[in-house]
């Protein structure tokens, strides 16, 4: 056992403060925690002394006594070196910042294997390291959700699941977004519009394709020219799909992508194959990553506020912790069509 040696803190403890003020620990604790049955005078003395000596309660002790960790966990997939992950960074930033407002901390854990394994969640639950979880990139049948529900452990998801009525969740309306994008392209005169999906394991991918299908269905375009291709939310996936789509006899004049990374891959291949963008081919992404604006041409996309996602998710979870019995809540936000240059009229 070469454990790290404990270095006893020279930090001031509640007993020091008690001694100093000639009060007892209990009184100090109550004074500081806003109990009403404390004389104003004592409370002030205590607070003043606490400030003077820089007293801050020991979190571990507090947590043990309270039986709470005041910490929320999030588990990141280990391999996320996709361009997508500008999302993760902003999401964490927002979550952390919003949790801090409520006095909660954010514990970031990494999943070594499959991103959807429950094992890290189990360990975190069993070791009482967190009071709740934020789960993102949900699957329709999500084992993580199943596990936490079975344990009756608080969590919120960013993204819907099959058990939507049994937990709090927040999501972007991907269906509506792609309806809007599709009808925009139709309006621009495109007759052959294709769609590249996002790996059907992600539940959200289904909503996006639904939006596409719905508007294509309503239109009078020739369905056989409106192809759906599988993708995987990566640039590479976009490249592969683009090859297949653009080397057809009647290639699409517009491609709708399930995310920006995919769109970048599509644009890359399209250029290699001699398509001009947007003259010969319109490309639309989804996510609104900042770098899209630096592409040539700047990527048109459906964007939404990641800060908002983080904030909403945190609010839902904190409310759940405060009132565990309340009915589950959900919220949907909308993406905005942001036309920057990679789309245009069909000539």
Binding piece for its own copies, criterion CB under 8 A, among 123-131, 192-200, 247-255, 329-337:
123-131
Q: Which does 83 bind (CB under 5 to 8 A by kind): DNA, its own copies, none?
A: its own copies
Q: Which is nearer to DNA, 70 or 308 (CB)?
A: 70
Q: Which is nearer to its own copies, 44 or 64 (CB)?
A: 64
Q: Which does 188 bind (CB under 5 to 8 A by kind): its own copies, DNA, none?
A: none
Rounded Cα distance between 310 and 61, Å, is 29
**By three-state DSSP, how is residue 168 classified?**
strand
What's the token pair of residue 18?
A: 């008690």
| CA distances to 207, 226, 306, 328 from 212, in Å | 9, 10, 23, 30
What's the token pair of residue 24?
A: 């007892």
Q: Which does 13 bind (CB under 5 to 8 A by kind): DNA, its own copies, none?
A: DNA
Q: Which is nearer to its own copies, 291 or 333 (CB)?
A: 291
Number of residues that bind its own copies (CB under 8 A): 72
Rounded Cα distance between 191 and 194, Å, is 10
**By three-state DSSP, how is residue 264 classified?**
helix
**Contact in structure between 310 and 97 (CB atoms under 8 Å):** yes
**Contact in structure between 302 and 335 (CB atoms under 8 Å):** yes
Using CB under 8 A as the binding rule, whether residue 123 contacts its own copies is answered as: yes
Q: Which of 4, 40, 41, 220 binds its own copies (CB under 8 A)?
A: 4
Binding piece for its own copies, criterion CB under 8 A, among 1-9, 38-46, 251-259, 336-344:
1-9
What's the token pair of residue 109?
A: 């854990």
Q: Which does 265 bind (CB under 5 to 8 A by kind): DNA, its own copies, none?
A: its own copies
Kindly state the smallest distance separating residue 36's Cβ from DNA, in Å: 7
Rounded Cα distance between 207 and 172, Å, is 10
Kindly state the smallest distance separating residue 186's Cβ from its own copies, in Å: 27
Here's the x/- map for its own copies, 292-311, by CB under 8 A: it reads as -xxxx---------------
Using CB under 8 A as the binding rule, whether residue 127 contacts its own copies is answered as: yes
End-to-end CA distance of the chain: 73
Using CB under 8 A as the binding rule, whether residue 243 contacts its own copies is answered as: no
- Whose CA is closest to 204, among 84, 106, 98, 78? 84
Segment 317-346, which members bind its own copies (CB under 8 A)?
A: 321-322, 324
**Contact in structure between 277 and 252 (CB atoms under 8 Å):** no
Here's the x/- map for its own copies, 76-115, by CB under 8 A: it reads as x-x-xxxx-xx-xxx-xx--xx--x----xxxxxx-x---
Q: Which is nearer to DNA, 67 or 274 (CB)?
A: 67
Is the previous residue joined to 191 through a cis bond, with omega within 30 degrees of 0?
no
Instruction: Report the interface residues with DNA, using CB under 7 A.
Output: 3, 6, 8-9, 13-15, 22-27, 29-33, 36-43, 55, 57-58, 61-62, 64-67
**Is the alpha carbon torsion for 95, 97, 100, 102 positive or negative?**
negative
Rounded Cα distance between 285 and 305, Å, is 15
């Amino acid at each position: 056992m070469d454990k790290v040696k404990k270095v006893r803190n020279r930090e001031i403890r509640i007993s020091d403060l008690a001694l100093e003020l000639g009060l007892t620990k209990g009184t100090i604790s109550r004074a500081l925690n806003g109990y009403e049955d404390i004389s104003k005078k004592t409370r002030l003395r205590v607070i003043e002394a606490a400030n003077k000596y820089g007293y801050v309660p020991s979190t571990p002790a507090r947590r043990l006594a309270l039986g709470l960790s005041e910490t929320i966990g999030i588990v990141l997939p280990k391999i996320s070196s996709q361009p997508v992950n500008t999302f993760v960074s902003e999401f964490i930033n927002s979550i952390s910042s919003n949790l801090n407002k409520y006095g909660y901390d954010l514990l970031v854990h990494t999943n070594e294997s499959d991103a959807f394994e429950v094992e890290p969640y189990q360990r975190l639950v069993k070791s009482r390291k967190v009071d709740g979880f934020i789960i993102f990139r949900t699957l329709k049948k999500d084992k993580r959700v199943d596990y936490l529900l079975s344990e009756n452990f608080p969590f919120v998801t960013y993204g819907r699941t099959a058990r939507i009525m049994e937990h709090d969740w927040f999501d972007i309306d991907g269906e509506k977004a792609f309806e809007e994008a599709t009808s925009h392209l139709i309006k621009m005169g495109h007759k052959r519009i294709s769609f590249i999906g996002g790996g059907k394991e992600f539940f959200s991918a289904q909503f996006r394709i639904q939006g596409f299908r719905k508007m294509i269905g309503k239109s009078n375009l020739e369905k056989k020219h409106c192809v759906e291709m599988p993708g995987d939310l990566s640039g590479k996936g976009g490249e592969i799909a683009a090859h297949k789509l653009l080397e057809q006899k009647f290639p699409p004049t517009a491609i709708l992508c399930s995310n920006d990374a995919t769109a970048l891959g599509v644009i890359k291949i399209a250029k290699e194959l001699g398509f001009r963008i947007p003259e010969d081919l319109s490309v639309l992404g989804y996510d609104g990553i900042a770098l899209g604006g630096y592409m040539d041409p700047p990527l048109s996309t459906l964007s939404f506020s990641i800060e908002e996602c983080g904030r909403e998710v945190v609010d839902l979870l904190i409310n759940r912790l405060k009132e565990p019995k309340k009915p589950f809540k959900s919220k949907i936000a909308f993406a905005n069509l942001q036309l920057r240059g990679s789309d245009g009229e069909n000539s």
